[in-house]
């Protein structure tokens, strides 16, 4: 969840470089922030409550240093206060730590350290780490003390540690992302690649249970065994400009608009590899689709596509619930994990369960080299480029495109499936124009003050109704719920009153008549019907036209709802890129 950034190199403005890097990571946490650097052999700190994006480097001079670490926080342990902001230091200010994740045994460690006389100034689990390192350092070197402390920590974490009188950074991770950017005689360490893209595209990945000592160059070790680990430098193909807003006011709008291109990129895969993976699905003794949040809704939609297109049953399980289904797994089972970041903690735990059972894992992910990528037997990269808005948009439709293509490949119709998706991408290109956005903005103005709204869909568009509700909740803060159209009369229709907005997601398929009848039931109770459909219908009070895309209807139907959520957020004076209480990559359980 939180953002971590560090710099080590010849430049003496390390603090400024770290602040700039943290600003690019603000989507991961924006409750508070801080940086630490060495000054006169001790640690000096700058910590603030609020968003680092509001910090003006021109008006706030940061002392010179050639090494610094920083953190933007999404609160887990302890409230949003300056005392709880990272970095945390020991009592002598010899050490500083920044940390992403949760230390599950911090209470027992804290009690142990308090008995030794250590005083805690925050409510965080992170402060336990820095005091633990300081305690071991009384008898050991910095590196040995850090390794001893790491071996005692339980839970998922990524962290950086510095010592005031040593020109080195120690980085370590277990279950939370941390990546090293390799520059010209300088090094960057971050939670996410876009943070240092402007400096370098060369990276080194830190794997679970590894620590890295960064001084003249990175030295990798397994912190459990102490064994040195050899690593290679990998060059990534993202451009720095792809992680910037450009002329757009918000990343969310930029990323919605990019769907003109990202679906093309998603389906530009090696046909032989897709056919091989289709064979893996056909030969599997049980196929499970897993994901969290939006990715779970993508999996749900895919289950309908595999049924309709490939006449094949696949299981869908929310990532956090997957361990409870492990008794169904066999060595011949296949788990298909879907994620944008490839770092979602609950999905990673599900993969660990699958691997323990001997099952194969296929990951559908956006971030090449992510933990899921490296853990999986197979991976399909959706190639959407950096997605920085918290609410997923372009990654969602790219994931849907990949799974649609796989469903067709399972039925021996890969070429037909790719043609459908190419045609759909072309129609989306025509659809996403200024007049279309103005039409949706006008709708947002009509309904911006409502307290609740509902979304209905049927078959493959039922999961898209659920996803639509997530988008509306995330950024507009309007109470929104998605339902299967046929379920309304079993209870939810009691929620409808005069003027209640209800979006009906309509496809021009065998479900069309049923979902229009469901919409009529809502209208008869006073509901305001917003039709998302290829053609206008009498029941609609407001029509948002979408292309007739056949089995790709979930892709075209979700895009206007993304736009509606965006415009509602802006009209309600919310920041759609940074919704309250949420962060981009959910790397804690």
Catalytic, 2? Answer yes
Each residue's pLDDT tens digit, 542-568: 999 999 999 999 999 999 999 999 999
For the chain, what's the residue count?
589
- pLDDT over 70 at 586, yes or no: no
Each residue's pLDDT tens digit, 429-446: 999 999 999 999 999 999
Q: What is the layout of strands, in order, in the sheet containing 528-533? A: 479-484, 452-457, 501-505, 528-533, 542-545
Mean pLDDT of 281-285: 95
Each residue's pLDDT tens digit, 208-222: 899 999 998 899 999
Residue 80 tokens read as 């949003």
CATH 3.60.20.10 domain position(s) in the chain = 3-242
Query: How much is the pLDDT for 176?
Result: 83
CB-CB neighbours of 489 under 10 Å? 11
Query: How much is the pLDDT for 106?
Result: 93
Instruction: State the pTM of this model.
Output: 0.77
How many Å apart are CA 12 and CA 253, to the nearest integer? 37
Lowest mean pLDDT among 47-56, 216-225, 255-264, 448-457: 47-56
CB 303 within 8 A of CB 316: yes
Q: Using 50, 70 and 90 to split pLDDT, how confident is the model at 28?
A: confident
Average pLDDT over the chain, rounded to an integer: 92
How many Å apart are CA 321 and CA 115, to the nearest integer? 39
In sequence order, what DSSP letters do the residues of 152-163 get, joined into one string?
Answer: H--EEEEEEEEE
Beta-bridge mates of residue 378: 362
CATH superfamily of 3-242: Aminohydrolase, N-terminal nucleophile (Ntn) domain (3.60.20.10)
* Of 23, 360, 418, 584, catalytic: 584
Query: How much is the pLDDT for 2?
Result: 80
Which DSSP state fits 94?
-
- pLDDT over 70 at 583, yes or no: no
CB 162 within 8 A of CB 69: yes
Query: How much is the pLDDT for 55?
Result: 80
Query: How much is the pLDDT for 345?
Result: 86
How many Å apart are CA 350 and CA 355, to the nearest integer? 9
CATH superfamily of 249-431: Glucose-6-phosphate isomerase like protein; domain 1 (3.40.50.10490)
CA 7, 11, 12, 18 torsion-angle sign? negative
Mean pLDDT of 136-164: 95
First to last CA, the chain: 10
CA separation (Å) from 46 to 50, 82, 83, 163, 315?
13, 10, 11, 16, 49
Catalytic, 584? Answer yes
Q: Using 50, 70 and 90 to split pLDDT, how confident is the model at 150?
A: very high
Residue 246 tokens read as 């450009």
How many Å apart are CA 523 and CA 519, to the nearest integer? 6
Each residue's pLDDT tens digit, 447-476: 999 999 999 999 999 999 999 999 999 999
Residue with tokens 């008898």, as numbered in its chain: 139
CATH 3.40.50.10490 domain position(s) in the chain = 249-431, 433-589
Each residue's pLDDT tens digit, 332-386: 999 999 999 898 889 999 999 999 999 999 999 998 888 899 999 999 999 998 8
- pLDDT over 60 at 36, yes or no: yes
Q: What residues have CB less than 8 Å from 472, skipping those under 6 apart?
A: 453, 455, 478, 480, 561, 564, 565, 568
Q: Using 50, 70 and 90 to split pLDDT, how confident is the model at 490?
A: confident
Decide the pairing of beta strands 169-174 and 210-214: antiparallel
Query: How much is the pLDDT for 241?
Result: 54
CA 517, 522, 528, 530 torsion-angle sign? negative
Per cent of the chain over pLDDT 70 is 97
* Rg of the chain in Å (alpha carbons): 25
Q: In this structure, which topology does domain 433-589 adopt according to CATH?
A: Rossmann fold (3.40.50)
Lowest mean pLDDT among 232-246, 412-426, 522-536: 232-246
Q: What residues have CB less than 8 Å from 387, skipping those under 6 apart?
A: 255, 340, 366, 393, 394, 395, 584
Residue 135 tokens read as 């305690």
Mean pLDDT of 17-29: 84
Q: Using 50, 70 and 90 to split pLDDT, how confident is the model at 156?
A: confident
Mean pLDDT of 379-395: 93
Mean pLDDT of 48-56: 83
Each residue's pLDDT tens digit, 168-207: 999 999 988 899 999 999 999 998 888 898 899 899 989 8
CB 335 within 8 A of CB 359: yes
| Nearest in space to 245 (alpha carbons), one of 576, 587, 582 | 576
The number of helix segments (H) and strand segments (E) in the chain equals: 16, 25
Among left, alpha and beta (phi > 0; psi -120 to 50; other), residue 78 is left
Which DSSP state fits 62?
-
Query: How much is the pLDDT for 503?
Result: 97
Q: Using 50, 70 and 90 to split pLDDT, how confident is the model at 316?
A: very high
Within 13 Å, how many C-alpha atoms sit on residue 515's CB side?
29
Per cent of the chain over pLDDT 90 is 76
């Amino acid at each position: 969840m939180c953002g971590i950034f560090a710099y080590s190199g010849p430049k003496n403005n390390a603090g400024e470089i770290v602040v700039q890097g943290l600003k690019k990571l603000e989507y991961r946490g924006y409750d508070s922030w801080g940086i630490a650097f060495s000054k006169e052999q001790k640690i000096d700190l700058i910590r603030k409550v609020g968003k680092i994006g509001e910090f003006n480097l021109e008006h706030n001079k940061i002392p010179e240093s050639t090494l610094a670490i920083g953190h933007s926080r999404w609160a887990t342990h302890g409230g949003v206060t300056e005392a709880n902001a990272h970095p945390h230091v020991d009592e002598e200010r010899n050490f500083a730590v920044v940390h992403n994740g949760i230390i599950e045994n911090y209470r027992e460690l804290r009690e142990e350290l308090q008995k030794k006389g250590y005083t805690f100034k925050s409510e965080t689990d992170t402060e336990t780490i820095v005091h633990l390192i300081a305690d071991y350092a009384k008898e050991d070197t910095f590196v040995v003390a850090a390794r001893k402390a790491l071996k005692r920590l339980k839970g998922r974490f990524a962290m950086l540690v510095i010592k005031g009188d040593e020109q080195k950074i120690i980085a370590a991770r277990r279950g939370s992302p941390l990546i090293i950017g390799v520059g010209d005689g300088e090094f960057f360490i971050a939670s996410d690649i876009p943070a240092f893209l402007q400096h370098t595209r060369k990276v080194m990945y830190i794997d679970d249970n590894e620590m890295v000592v960064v001084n003249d160059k990175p030295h990798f070790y397994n912190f459990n065994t102490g064994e040195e680990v050899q690593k290679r430098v990998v060059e990534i193909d993202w451009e720095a400009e792809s992680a910037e807003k450009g002329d757009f006011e918000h990343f969310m709008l930029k990323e919605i608009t990019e769907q003109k291109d990202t679906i093309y990129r998603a389906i530009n895969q090696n046909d032989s590899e897709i056919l091989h993976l289709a064979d893996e699905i056909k030969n599997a003794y049980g196929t499970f689709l897993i994901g969290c949040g939006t990715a779970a809704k993508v999996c749900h939609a895919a289950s309908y596509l595999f049924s309709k297109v490939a006449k094949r049953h696949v299981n869908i399980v929310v990532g956090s619930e997957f361990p409870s289904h492990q008794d169904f797994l066999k060595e011949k089972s296949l788990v298909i994990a879907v994620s944008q970041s490839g770092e979602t903690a609950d999905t990673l735990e599900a993969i660990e369960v699958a691997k323990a059972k001997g099952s194969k894992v296929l990951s559908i992910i956006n971030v090449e080299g992510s933990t899921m990528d490296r853990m999986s037997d197979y991976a399909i990269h959706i190639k959407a480029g950096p997605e920085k808005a918290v609410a997923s948009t372009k990654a969602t439709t790219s994931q849907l495109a990949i799974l649609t293509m796989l469903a067709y490949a399972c039925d021996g119709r890969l070429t037909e499936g790719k043609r459908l998706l190419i045609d759909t991408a072309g129609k989306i290109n025509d659809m996403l124009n200024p007049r279309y956005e103005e039409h949706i903005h006008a709708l947002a103005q009509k309904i911006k003050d409502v307290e609740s709204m509902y979304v209905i869909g049927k078959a493959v568009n039922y999961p898209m109704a659920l996803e639509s509700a997530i988008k509306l909740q995330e950024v507009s803060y309007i109470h929104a719920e998605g339902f299967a159209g046929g379920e309304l009369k079993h209870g939810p229709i009691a929620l409808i009153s005069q003027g209640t907005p209800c979006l009906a997601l309509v496809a021009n398929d065998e479900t069309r008549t049923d979902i229009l009848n469901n919409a009529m039931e809502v209208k008869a109770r006073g509901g305001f019907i917003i039709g998302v459909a290829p053609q206008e219908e009498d029941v609609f009070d407001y029509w948002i036209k979408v292309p007739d895309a056949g089995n790709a209807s979930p892709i075209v139907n979700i895009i206007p709802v993304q736009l509606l959520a965006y415009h509602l957020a802006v009209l309600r004076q919310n920041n759609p890129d940074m919704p309250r209480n949420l962060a981009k990559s959910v790397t804690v359980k």
